[in-house]
Amino acid sequence: SIEKQGAGAAMIKNPRRARAVIRAAMEGVADGGEAIPVSVKTRIGFNKNELETWLPELLAEKPAMITVHARTRKDMSKVPARWEHVKCAVEIRDELQKTLQKNEQTLIFGNGDITDLEDGRNKAKAAGADGAMLGRAIFGNPWLFGVPAISIEEKLWVMVEHTALFEELLGDIKNFAIMKKHFKAYVNGFDGAVELRGRLMETETADQVKNIVDEFLTSQKPLI
Ligand SMILES: Cc1cc2nc3c(=O)[nH]c(=O)nc-3n(C[C@H](O)[C@H](O)[C@H](O)COP(=O)(O)O)c2cc1C
């Protein structure tokens, strides 16, 4: 697993290695001759909040940005993200980098349980963070960052395209069942969604999904 290799959240247990990885990434982009910023994303700790000792290790490498997912590894996703820890991360950054110019400081972004852009802006502002990272909010809603409103028809055709691409690009290595959580995310909040979702849960190929969506939209045409 990722963790058994000492990667992912297990990096928190080995700050020396984590710092070496950050330095290697920075050297790699420098060698490439491009000014690509290197960012880090981390949880607040492994079994408990370790920001007081862990964050200074990361900050010492001066990455362009650190995103703090406001949970421990042990929390998984079972408890709500605790944004007060993002605030704490900002305070640690402010203290440790107080002698740096503002544009040389590491940006601190918060992550965890943001539902939409407004929620992200509010949470970042309340924590004093420089920004926010959204994860699961994008499920079923790839328009999240741009288009304000989208028709059901367009949404369903994007789901069909998403499914076809999944099959084409990942069909050999991933189980089709993985798409089903996306069907749940795309298909909700409109008349007939529950029944349509039920039918999609029975599918095994992108073609079947396309046919079901086609049938659904044809039957609904006068309504949407
Ligand atoms: C399917 C899935 C895959 C994820 N993979 C990664 C990953 O590879 N690296 C990572 O740092 N976080 C990963 N995460 C965690 C998210 O980046 C994010 O920290 C977490 O979902 C909390 O944010 P959210 O509430 O906005 O989703 C993953 C989350 C999900 C749901």
Tens of pLDDT, residues 198-210: 999 999 999 999 9
Q: Is the pLDDT of residue 57 over 80?
A: yes
Q: Is the pLDDT of residue 37 over 80?
A: yes
Angle subtended by helix axes 84-96 and 117-127, to nearest 10: 50
- 143 vs 84, higher pLDDT: 84
Q: Give the residue among 146, 153, 83 at the shortest CA–CA distance from 114.
A: 83
**% pLDDT > 90, the chain:** 85
Ligand 1 lining (C-beta closer than 6 Å):
41, 69, 111-114, 134-137
Q: Counting atoms of ligand 1 from 1, which one is nearest the CA of 114?
A: 26
Residue nearest to atom 5 of ligand 1 (CA): 135
Name the residue of 73, 77, 138 to mutate for ligand 1: max ligand atoms within 8 A of Cβ. Answer: 77
Expressed in angstroms and rounded, the spacing between residue 195 Cα and the centre of ligand 1 is 29
How far is Cα of residue 157 from the mean position of the Cα atoms in its chain? 23
Q: Are 110 and 68 in contact (CB under 8 A)?
A: yes
Expressed in angstroms and rounded, the spacing between residue 224 Cα and the centre of ligand 1 is 34
Arithmetic mean of pLDDT, 64-81 = 94
Q: Is the pLDDT of residue 110 over 70?
A: yes
Give the pLDDT confidence score for residue 189 in this predicted structure.
87
Q: Counting atoms of ligand 1 from 1, which one is nearest the CA of 41?
A: 11
Total number of residues shown for the chain: 224
Give the pLDDT confidence score for residue 224 in this predicted structure.
53
Say which amino acid occupies 190: F
Mean pLDDT lowest among 54-58, 79-83, 97-101, 189-193 = 189-193
> What mean pLDDT, rounded, does the chain reach?
94
